[in-house]
Structure 1
Amino acid sequence: MKFFSASNVRDDIKKFERKYKRYYPIFLLLESLFLTTNVLTPLLIKKTIDSAFYRGSVEEVALFSILYFVVLVSQSFIMYRLNFSVAKHLLNASRAKESKGVYAKILTLPLSFLNSKNTGDYLSIFMRDIPKVASGVYLARLQFFFNLGFFLVVLSLLFILNVKLALVVLASIVLFFVSTSILKKMVIRTSQRDQEAYQRFLKRSREVVEGTPVLKQFSGLLFLRDFLDSSAREWSRASIIHSTVNELSNRNIEMNRWVGSTIVLAFGVYLLWKGEISVGTLLAFESYMNWIYDIVRMALTGLTTFFSTVPNWENFTRVFSLPFERASGIDLERFEKLQLKNVHFKYDETPVLTGLNFEINSGDKIAIVARSGAGKSTLVSLFNRLLSPTEGEILINGVPIEQYSLQSLRRNIVLIRSNDILFDLIQRSETT
């Protein structure tokens, strides 16, 4: 099994992100416009309130009110375009592209990696891991860095408006960050346990479906039900714990926001009473306070989501570390003779074929007769390299079959087995 260190994950993510970087300028442009409109809104509120309270200028109040309305409308439109672009170019595009890449990789795997034991693992990659990777790895990283930049800009504006009040805001943010970080680690840990429990449940579900005919013959249905129920309960408990911790993390955010806003507002009223700030400045601070907690919350959420989906990322990328069939080689133009020389084959450590030596010439009609499970299907699967011998050599026309290209080899040697799947490729049209 491949070991995934922090540097491995970081390098792999950078490698996969290159496929989507051409969309980043669109995101950065829209995010910059969104940041600008967000920064302008409290400043326009300040100007409007101060114009009304201190200068009594109706013209200024009307002007800043109109500008405030235009900025809000622009902000809504920019946010819509940003969400649409992210969904179209990043979430949906990455899901489709990565699913296609995983499927292409699976087609190159040796047959020994495509048995019923790991079918559920591959299905889990398509159904669970890839969607989480798209939203949790690609998008969460962008969300974190964007909100980090947004936080620095807003914090700088707060210090420009009033240093004392900004320091109070910063202190409350530090406390908020510490408490949220502790819960973040709990969210990540419970997410990993939820993922592990889901994998076990999926594995047992597959075994239950595949093993039902056997257990029905031996009155094993009660065992079968308990076998699946215990796994389902384990996953349910892990999922409930993860949801509870996640909800607790969200409630902690709301509580910190309420406490921090109360402290800042109380201190702001004190500064207003002393004449150190204006009413507009206090209201602008209040608007920025709501945003700055949202910014920190979204940045931490992005970071938490990223680390929570690292197990999904590892499952997703692990498939690309598996070996693949060597497809290149010379073309097999015409079949003349197939030879087996001291061929052995074993599944894991269980011998199936031992010391086979025989020849098949073009035009021969051969019947291979043996009891069920003796290795008939295994033997013929060696002829076109669906499986490879553990020991020995197979030659076609005197050439080892490993030297032929897979395409030409499988074009000349076709296996039709009794349990092969018939694909429903007919497009049915309903007439009314």
Structure 2
Amino acid sequence: MIARVSSDIPNFSESLSAAIPGISLNIMALIIFSGVLIYLSWQLALVVFATLPFYNISINTFNKKLKKLSKLEREKNSKVMEGIRESIEGTLTIKRFNKSNYFIEALKSYINDWIKASNKHNLFIQSIEDFITFIRGICPIIVLSFGGYLVMKGDITLGTLIGFYSFMNWIYEPVRVISHFFISLQSTIPVFKRIKEIHEMEEETSGLELLNKVKNIEYRNVYFSYDSIPILEGLNLKIRSNERIAIVGESGSGKTTVIKLVMRYFNVDKGNILVNGKSIVEYSLHDLRRKIIVVHQNDFLFNMSIRENILLGEKFSEKEFTNAIKVACIDKFINELGKGYDTIVGERGTRLSDGQKQRIAIARAVIRKPDVLILDEATSGIDSQTEAEIFKNLQNLNITVIIISHRLSTIKKADRIIVLHKGRVICEGNHENLLKNCRKYNDIIRNQLIVV
């Protein structure tokens, strides 16, 4: 995506903006000069015109190869951009495992591949232009030979031949320029296709129904697959207003998918998800995502202040801001930071601990007063005492809380625990009941959960 935005679009725009006026002006010049040559000698003009198709033949002959090399060069360029991005974003991991040399060599390899592909592409373009130049060099010899024959026959004068020869070179310049731009446009076709792929991506569709308050959510016989791999298979689940539920299951059981579907990051393959008895596709996406907010384990923090990361440009009163930071217990650590809420968190929040980043993400969600707050491993980096305080604060807000976690201390705070297995609800109840009646829950507790 970065390569297409930073490289493909400027290249395509530059080629197009130069080619269209260049081709238009030179076509006009070609028509004028052709008229002059016909006026001087139609016989010699036919000789010149007979060589022009070779320009088109040479371009069409090499066209397929040119597109292939152009596409390869763009793909290698994208690989370089991706390598640079990964190296920057993974700096800490690279340092931690002393893999600087490994990634330097990998990036060198990407760059060398790109250089090779770029050189092949440029060399091929130059070869086409050299071939066209060769054709242009042969034509004057043919014109002089045939023109001399016409002079001897008395069909034209020597002055006409000299004049024709002088004007003849003028017609080849617009032909050369048009050919050059045509080759350039052929090279941009793969670039255009790469840009077009982005424009043709399926866009999110929003319903028109307004959503004032989420009273209940129901998954009714929901099926969903990723790349033909089934994740949810006939899921049925009801979530009531102001309920606090936890969703547990083995890796791959579909816990996070349940959340992604209610947020309409994806649409279900079969079945339906209802909010207040209506399909979620009928609701405005803006309303849906305003009333149902997800906080993930590693929610993105922008390189801005803590205050700006919470507000994100929206207007909230100081009281609303204060309440949100108290619910998320940010006030417990804010005095440790030099500039308080104006402290810049760094790129992706690198100047803060995982727990501090998670508390900021929770405050960012709470200040928007959602009806449903989904915590997807959102307290994994927070100590148990602070976590307990946050959940107590959330309980006072009278909102529905959905918890996805691998921490027993977190799950036990739920009123109802949902156990997922292979995309279905196999058990539900409180912690004590599930320990007695659900073998899968016992297996999950014993094998996966961190008892805190």
- Give TM-score scaled by structure 1 length: 0.57
Match of 2:274 in 1: 395
The letter of the residue matching 2:69 is T
Give per-residue Cα distances to partners, 1:154-177, cap 9 Å, x unaligned. 223212112343234334445555
2:66 is aligned with 1:190: no
5+ unaligned residues in a row in structure 2: which ranges?
305-311, 314-452
Corresponding residue number in structure 2 for 1:313: 192
Match 2:212 to one of 316, 319, 333: 333
Deviation at 1:222, TM superposition (A): 4.5
Is 1:419 paired with 2:311?
A: no
The residue number in structure 1 matching 2:259 is 380
The question of 1:238 aligning with 2:82 is answered no
Question: Quick check: 1:293 aligned with 2:168?
Answer: no
Amino acid at match of 2:292: I
Instruction: Provide the residue aligned with 2:34 in structure 1.
Output: 155
Matched AA of 2:302: L
Check if 1:248 corresponds to 2:127: yes
CA RMSD, aligned part only?
Answer: 4.0
Q: What residue number does 1:276 align with?
A: 156
Corresponding residue number in structure 2 for 1:71: none
What do residues 247-302 of structure 1 show as CA deviations (whole Å, max 9, x unaligned)?
233334444444434554676678779793364x4564345323211121122223
Partner of 2:447: none
Check whether the contact 2:66–2:121 (CA below 8 A) recurs between aligned residues. yes
The code of the aligned residue for 1:277 comes to: T
Partners of 1:416 and 1:301 in 2: CA distance: 54
Are residues 341 and 170 of structure 1, via their aligned partners in 2, closer, same or farther at CA, if it must alter by over 3 Å? closer
Cα distance, 1:350 vs structure 2: 5.3
Structure 1 pair 423–332 and aligned structure 2 pair: CA distance change class (3 A): farther
Structure 1: any 5+ residue segments left out of the alignment?
A: 1-121, 427-432
Contact 1:188 1:304 in 2 (8 A): no
How far apart, CA to CA, are the structure 1 residues paired with 2:267 and 2:60? 51
Corresponding position of 1:9: none
**Amino acid of the residue matched to residue 39 of structure 2?**
I
Maintained 8 Å contact 1:136/1:305: yes
Q: Which has the higher contact order (CA 8 A, sep 6+)?
A: 1
- Give matches, 1:15-414, under 5 Å: 122-136=1-15, 140=19, 143-144=22-23, 147-148=26-27, 150-174=29-53, 178-179=57-58, 182=61, 186-210=65-89, 213-214=92-93, 216-218=95-97, 220-261=99-140, 264=143, 276-277=156-157, 279=159, 281=160, 284-343=163-222, 345-348=224-227, 357-366=236-245, 377-414=256-293
Q: Shift in Å at residue 240 of structure 1?
A: 0.5
* CA deviation after TM superposition for structure 1 residue 215, in Å: 5.4
CA distance in 2, matches of 1:151, 1:399: 66
Distance 1:141 1:188, change over 3 A: farther
CA–CA distance in structure 2, aligned partners of residues 219 and 248 of structure 1? 46
One-letter code aligned to 1:157? V
Contact between 2:206 and 2:281, CA under 8 Å: does it hold in 1? no
**Matched letter for residue 46 of structure 2:** L
CA distance in 1, matches of 2:71, 2:2: 19
2:22 and 2:131 mapped to 1: Cα distance? 20
1:1-12 matches, within 5 Å, as: none
Over residues 344-393 of structure 1, what are the superposed CA-to-partner deviations in whole Å (9 max), with x where a residue is unaligned?
Answer: 55543556666655443333445667899876654433333223345543
Comparing 215-224 and 327-336, the one that deviates more: 215-224
Shift of 1:123: 2.6
Deviations 1:163-203 (A, max 9, x none): 34323433444555555654555544432332333344444
Secondary structure, counterpart of 2:262 in structure 1: coil
The letter for the 1-side match of 2:170 is W
Q: Could you tell me whether the CA contact under 8 Å between 2:225 and 2:232 is conserved in 1? A: yes
Greater per-residue strand proportion: 2
Q: 309-318 or 146-155: which moved more?
A: 146-155
> Match for 1:317: what amino acid?
K
CA contact (8 A) 2:222 2:235 kept: yes
What SS does the corresponding residue of 1:309 show, helix, strand or coil?
A: helix
Aligned 8 A contact 1:201 1:232 in 2: yes
| Overall identity of the aligned pairs, in % | 30
Checking the alignment, whether the CA contact within 8 Å between 2:3 and 2:77 is kept in structure 1 is no
- TM-aligned CA deviation for residue 144 of structure 1: 4.5
User: Please, what TM-score do these two structures have when normalized by structure 2?
Assistant: 0.54
Give the letter aligned to residue 297 of structure 1: R
Distance 1:129 1:414, change over 3 A: same
Give the counterpart letter for 2:75 in structure 1: E
Q: 1:270 to 1:346 in 2, by over 3 A?
A: closer
SS of residue matched to 2:239 = strand
> d(CA) in 2 for partners of 1:234 and 1:407?
44
Letter in 1 for 2:242: G
Alignment check: 8 A CA contact 1:144 1:302 kept: yes
CA distance in 2, matches of 1:212, 1:374: 32
**Equivalent residues, number:** 304
Note if contact 2:140-2:165 (Cα within 8 Å) is conserved in structure 1.
yes
Partner of 1:103: none
